[in-house]
Amino acid sequence: MAFAAFSSNVKVDAKPTKTGKVVIALLAPGLAYLGVFFLTPLIALIMVSLQVPDPTGVYGKYVPAFEIGNYAYVISEYFPHIIRSFSYALIATLLALIISYPLAYFIGVKARPWPLLQKLMLTLVIAPFFISFLLRTLAWKQIFSNESWIVTTLQQIGFLGPDQYVVGTPFMVIFGLTYNFIPFMTLPLYTSLERLDIRYLEAGADLYASPAKVFRKITFPLSLPGVISGTLLTFIPIAGDYINASGEFLGSPETAMLGNTIEANFLSINDYPSASALSVLLMGAILILVTLYVKRSGTEDLL
Amino acid sequence: MRFSLGKFALPLYSILAFIYILIPIAYTFVFSFNDSLKTNLIWRGFTFDKWLNVCRDQDVCVAFGNSILIGVISTIFATALGTGIAIALVRYRFRFRSSVNLLLFLPMATPEVVLGAGLASQFLSLGVNKGIVTIILAHIMFCLSFVVVTVKARVASLDPALEEAGRDLYANPRQVFWKITFPLLLPGIAAAALLSFALSFDDFIITNFNAGSDMTFPKYVYTAAAKGLPAEANVIGSAVFTLAILIVLATQINGEIKRRRLTKRS
């Protein structure tokens, strides 16, 4: 690697003090910024999550305390939302993986003879990034709105009852979550599959492995780094998302996720301790899940 | 013949997948030409009127202008801070390296709602009034890590021998940086800046927690969604989309031309 070549340079090691100054000058401003605007907010979040209401009873005012009970309260109060967040995120991540894998395989393996076509298809994959997240979600809402031909047709053929609709159901929320995060899944899958050596597949086929076996024993294991980073890149933002599940977009009160409860507690009813406790829980749960997942799949160097 | 199934099934599947990916974009485009009234829910006929008079409803354009301003300022700061970190990480060995990597990775692994609520509770306890300034402060924070990742890839692919050659020819460190390192890093820095602007421009969740009463374009869409979004929002979304796609296509075609010229020469 380029780094190894440079670090063997004696000059650098001979003047450690000078290098030290340069490194500090390069690192300090950015790291200090993250310290002030990323780390201390997390500490602020933990502190607020332990606060109690102002004893004088002023609405929306809280005083510093060490009320662990806030956590017990939010867990019992919002248990369905917690379960919903993680189950929606799990389902949507799996759906995104199933939809993206063949597409990434086509772009990364089958389309190799045409590099320009590969690039164009990759542009199409990331095209949704260029239109506002909210606009594309609203577009789906209107496509599946109660008066749309899709819904009326579904009602006519009896798939939906006469007063059953699509918007506001868990199906619609998971559909929107899957759609919105497909690029995050397809790109890392593509990066892995693009490096796949086709000769391994040919060797497998020559040794009388069925296409299914070639996929199970060769293609999929070799694309595992892409699968891991793709699933992480989709699961984490989905678990915290509250656009798709919100009542103004694809959801209803029955589909509210953790993100919706955090937003409502923080911005509408000014219950800052509950919002903060829920945020800390969400972050903690995700960190634990991600660490376990990465450890189990044995790809720690990926981070 | 062994992979004959993949021959037709896979291309067909991919076409269907692309249609699925493009449907909401096409919908947004089509409804930007809708001769709608206040809301934009049913098709009432074709018109260029919304494109020609986007700013008739002042609110859309004010929100759009704010988003551009926030995007530009946070991109400048995030790119400058992130480039420094990226160069230090690839080019120098120092202690606490892994802690620095962890600190950079964490903001990307934290759900946006947590980042937003965290900053908001900090501003709350410090008694800071939320507005455009706090939005910019928040955006610099979450764009920073993405800049580092993007620029780092470019620094790593840079041949240190070029800088060494500069030093051998008696260039001082400043000259080496500005005449050799920086120009070679520029494509990576530009890519990072574009990414950072795109992230900032489209961010809603973190913005919503730290915006106070100030509007950005995504926040405008969110607020308007409840009572019905005017077609002007579709116009702005479609225009931004077209511009972004053109930039991406232009860089790709440019790269392809360069590649062909290089392969021809060798």
Instruction: Determine contact, residues A110/A201, Cβ cutoff 8 Å.
Output: no
Which chain B residue shows the shortest CA-CA distance from A142?
B41
Ramachandran sector of residue A121 (left: φ over 0; alpha: ψ -120 to 50; beta: rest) = alpha
Distances in Å between the Cα of A206 and the Cα atoms of A203, A214, B1, B109 are 5, 10, 13, 43
* Domain residue limits, chain B: 74-212
pLDDT averaged over consecutive 10-residue blocks of chain B (266 residues)?
Answer: 65 95 94 84 83 85 95 97 92 84 90 94 90 96 94 86 90 88 90 93 94 93 86 92 91 83 76
Three state DSSP letters for B212-242: CCCCCHHHHHHHHHHHCCCHHHHHHHHHHHH
Instruction: Provide the 3-class DSSP secondary structure of residue B46.
Output: strand
Superfamily designation of domain B74-212: MetI-like (1.10.3720.10)
Distance of CA B9 to the CA centre of its chain: 34
pLDDT at B241: 94
pLDDT at A4: 33
pLDDT averaged over consecutive 10-residue blocks of chain A (303 residues)?
Answer: 33 47 89 96 94 84 88 95 95 97 94 90 91 93 88 85 87 96 94 90 90 90 90 93 92 93 93 95 92 74 48
B90-96 long-range Cβ contacts below 8 angstroms, 24+ apart: B90/A2, B90/A3, B90/B152, B90/B155, B90/B156, B91/A3, B91/A6, B91/B155, B91/B160, B92/A12, B92/A19, B92/A22, B92/A23, B92/A26, B93/A7, B94/A20, B94/A23, B94/A27
CB contact under 8 A, B100 and A27: yes
pLDDT at A58: 79
DSSP one-letter string for A173-237: HHHHHHHHHHHHHHHHHHHHHHT--HHHHHHHHHTT--HHHHIIIIIHHHTHHHHHHHHHHHHHH
User: Hey, what domains does chain A have and what are their CATH numbers?
Assistant: 75-302 (1.10.3720.10)
- Return the residue in A131, A178, A229 with the most chain B beta carbons within 10 A, the one to mutate for interface testing: A131
The Cα–Cα gap between A39 and B235 comes to 39
Task: Look up residue A303 and give its amino acid.
Answer: L
Cα of A140 to nearest chain B Cα, Å: 6
Q: Which of A29, A139, A239 sits opposite B81 (nearest CB)?
A: A29
Instruction: Provide the 3-class DSSP secondary structure of residue A247.
Output: coil
Q: How many CA atoms lie within 13 A of A181 on its CB side?
A: 33
Structure tokens at B36: 């709608």
Phi, psi of A256 (to 5 degrees): -55, 135
pLDDT digits (tens, 9 = 90+) for B21-47: 999 999 999 999 988 877 777 788 888
Count, residues in chain B? 266
pLDDT at B93: 81
Q: How many CA atoms lie within 13 A of A185 on its CB side?
A: 26
Phi, psi of B46 (to 5 degrees): -85, 140
Q: Which of B85, B125, B204 sits opposite A44 (nearest CB)?
A: B125
Distances in Å between the Cα of B245 and the Cα atoms of A127, A131, A226, B61, B239 are 7, 10, 25, 22, 10
Q: Which of B21, B84, B120 sits opposite A124 (nearest CB)?
A: B21
pLDDT at A38: 96
pLDDT at A238: 95
